Amino acid sequence: MATKDQRRRQLAREKFLRQQERRDQQRRKARLRNAAVAAGLAVVVAGGAVAYTAGGFGDADKSDSAAPSASPSSSDAPDPCDRPADGSPGTEQWKKEPALTVDKSATYTMKLETTCGDISVAMDAGKAPHTVNSFNFLAGKGYFDHTKCHRLTTGGIYVLQCGDPQGTGQGGPGYTIPDENLKDSRLKGNVYPAGTVAMANQYNAQSGKGRDSGGSQFFLVYQDSQLPPDYTPFGTVTGDGMKVLKKIADAGAKAPDASSNTAPNATVVIDKATVRKG
79 CB contacts (<8 Å, ≥6 apart)? 251, 265, 266, 267
- Maximum mean pLDDT: which of 55-64, 119-128, 248-257: 119-128
Chain centre distance of CA 123 = 17
pLDDT at 59 over 90: no
152 bridge partner residues? 160
pLDDT in tens, 13-50: 677 667 767 766 666 655 544 444 444 444 555 433 33
Q: What is the pLDDT of residue 63?
A: 34
Q: Write down the pTM of the prediction.
A: 0.79
220 CB contacts (<8 Å, ≥6 apart)? 119, 121, 159, 160, 161, 162, 196, 197, 237, 241, 245
| 57 — pLDDT class (breaks 50, 70, 90) | low
109 bridge partner residues? 122, 276
Backbone angles phi, psi at 58, to 5 degrees: -155, 180
Backbone torsion region of residue 77, taken as left when φ is above 0, otherwise alpha when ψ lies between -120 and 50, otherwise beta: beta
Mean pLDDT for the stretch of residues 107-130? 98
Gap between the Cα atoms of 229 and 16, Å rounded: 40
Q: Which one-letter DSSP state was computed for residue 253?
A: B
Q: How many residues does the chain have?
A: 278
pLDDT in tens, 251-272: 999 988 776 789 999 999 999 9
Q: What is the pLDDT of residue 228?
A: 96
Kindly provide the residue ranges of all beta strands, DSSP E only, lying in the chain, ordered along the sequence.
107-114, 117-124, 147-148, 151-152, 159-162, 191-192, 196-199, 218-221, 225-226, 233-238, 269-277
